[in-house]
Amino acid sequence: MRKRYDASFKAKIALEVVKSLKTVNEIATEAGVHPAVITKWKRQLRNVSMILRHPGSIISVSLLGFPPCS
């Protein structure tokens, strides 16, 4: 069975990779997550941050974990 991680855990780990002087492998060992999964989360975080920085872009609120506006 596949292990599932919530969005806050993914974001926390991805931010740690971006901000840290530790390698992905070191963080993966500490968090108990495969390094390839952490690399994927880091890429997703980078993509979301590029969308947020682009002026005039339409942001998918579901991508960010917020309920859609009505």
Task: Using the predicted structure, report yes or no on whether residue 8 has a pLDDT greater than 50.
Answer: yes
Its pTM stands at 0.67
pLDDT tens string 19-64? 888 999 999 999 999 999 999 998 888 877 766 666 555 554 445 4
Token couple for 24: 């992905």
How far apart CA 3 and CA 15 sit, in angstroms, is 20
Q: What is the DSSP string of the chain?
A: ------HHHHHHHHHHHHH-SS-HHHHHHHHT--HHHHHHHHHHHHHHHHHHHSTTPPP-TTTTTPPPP-
The segment with the largest mean pLDDT, out of 5-14, 23-32, 60-69, is 23-32
